[in-house]
Amino acid sequence: MALFIYGVASNYGKDFFTAQDRQNFFLRGYPGDVWVIGATEKGALWLAERGVEKTKSEAQAIVDGEVSKAQAAYDALPEDQKTNLNRQRPTAINLP
C-alpha cells in the first residue's frame, strides 16, 4: 500500500489545516499548491474536502514546473544581486 497520496489544494488560510490534522496524518506542502498527504482515511478525507487528488507523477510535474519558474527568475537576476544576496539557484524538489 502506498504511503502517500498526492493532490493540489489552494491554501485558503486560517485552519486550512489544523493542529489536529497535523497529528492525524503526514502533511507537507510544496510549490504549486501541491500537497503530499499520509495515505490514511483522515488524510484522504482532508484532501477530498479541499482539493483534487493527483498521481505522484502529475504532482511531481507541477512542482517541477514551479521550480523551473523559480530557476528562471533567479537566472534573470543581475549577477551582482546573486552574489550580494548570497542566494542559491533553486534546486529540484523530489516528492517523497
Task: Check binding of 21 to other proteins (CB under 8 A).
Answer: yes
Q: Which residues contact 5 (CB under 8 A, 6 or more apart)?
A: 36, 37, 38, 39, 43, 44, 47, 53
Q: Cell numbers 542559491 correspond to what residue?
A: 88
Binding mask 41-80 for other proteins (x = CB under 8 A): -------------------------xx-xxx-xx-xxx--
Among 31, 44, 45, 64, binds other proteins (CB under 8 A): 31
Q: How far is the CB of 24 from other proteins (least distance, A)?
A: 8
Q: Give the residue with the Cβ less far from other proteins, 23 or 57.
A: 23
- Determine the Cα–Cα distance for residues 3 and 8; give it in Å rounded to an integer: 17
